[in-house]
Structure 1
Amino acid sequence: MSINQLTIMLKDQKCLNGMMYEPINQITKMPRKPNPSRKSGKEGYTQVSGYISEPLATKFKGYCKLSRKEISEILEELIDRWVTQYEENNDRED
């Protein structure tokens, strides 16, 4: 069930299991658990971002979870392969 479906259901019922409905935007986020593999703030790492289609992003995130690998780990591996291939192709042209 998606957050939107749950929100609609809660708005219709005004409560769930005896608990009063609280709009999603008023629910406080739980603090993140410490993640030792997290690269944010680590020396020698920088954030890279871009936009990809939603269906591809959804598949990518799902497959990362299934493989129990961090998104950053997969991205670094793929970008490294691309850079290596690019450098090899450009070395031949020189």
Structure 2
Amino acid sequence: MQVKDGLTFQEVNAACGVKIVAPDLEKSIAGTTLHLANTKEQIENAETAIREEWRAIYEKMPIMCSVCKEISPRVEFIANCQKGNPCQVQ
């Protein structure tokens, strides 16, 4: 069933039943902040906030080492790789 009529609200306090329509929405990351930007300044501020939020998510993204089968945050994994020892095989 497709609903073509809808209501517009300035603010929503619950996510139950909220339909979000936007171009390229499939490229978004679930659980991140939704930003509304109409002016050039708002767009720039939103882009900055999105980059910071994405960077925080990306740095904590878990990576599994194929050698030792351990999972570690991306930042720790890369730091260990740069030292020459991505994992300690025992």
Higher helix residue share: 1
- Do Structure 1 and Structure 2 share a fold, with TM-score over 0.5? no
- Rg comparison, structure with higher value: 1
TM-score normalised by the chain length of structure 2: 0.27
Which structure would you say has the larger RCO, counting Cα contacts within 8 Å and 6 or more residues apart? 2
TM-score (norm 1): 0.26
